[in-house]
Amino acid sequence: MGNPPKFRSLSRVEQHLAACIRVRREVCGLSASDLDRAANLKPGSVSRLERNKKRLKPDALIALSRALKLDIDSFFEDIPLCGRFDELPPENGISTSDIESLVNAFHAIDNPEARRGFASLLRSIATNPLYNTSVSKNDGVIMESKRSAS
């Protein structure tokens, strides 16, 4: 029997996608195994993806975006196409490391009621048309954003 194929290191794009999945999963309060089940992936898949030990196939990315209730385009925002991650300024004013810091701070709150209150506050801001231009003023629903052609 031959040697198993050697695992090639992941590209920056793949690493970015894995980081986005982890951040969104943590924001949603899901464990990696919860997300495995929600996306109908094999047990341990999300954990291996997040640790950059597994390649992310397109069908898995679609399943994960659905399970995380996230538009697939959002995974590709602020993506580093060249240079180093920290050399690229974020378009939306907040970097992936800032988001990770927010998630870590959220998880440091050990009072469940305070966590729920904070999550509720964020949802309120996200669905308020005064703070989020992608929200319909009529129903408070976040509309799908379309990227303008450059």
**How far is residue 9's CA from residue 62's CA, in Å, rounded to a whole number?**
22
Q: What is the DSSP letter of 83?
A: S
Q: What's the average model confidence in pLDDT over 73-83?
A: 66
> What digits encode the pLDDT tens for the residues 6-46?
445 667 778 888 888 988 888 888 999 999 999 999 999 99
Q: What is the mean pLDDT of the chain?
A: 75
Rg (CA), the chain: 17
H/E stretch holding 113 reads helix 112-126
Domains by residue range for the chain, with CATH: 12-89 (1.10.260.40)
Greatest C-alpha distance within the chain: 64
In the structure, what pLDDT confidence band is assigned to residue 87 with cuts at 50, 70 and 90?
very low
**How far is residue 84's CA from residue 102's CA, in Å, rounded to a whole number?**
22
> What digits encode the pLDDT tens for the residues 98-148?
777 777 788 788 888 888 888 888 888 878 777 776 655 554 444 444 333
H/E stretch holding 23 reads helix 12-27
For 85-91, the CB contacts below 8 A with 24+ separation are: 85/12, 85/16
Residue 84 has pLDDT above 60, yes or no: no
Residue 143: half-sphere exposure toward Cβ, Cα within 13 Å: 12
Would you state the pLDDT for residue 38? 94
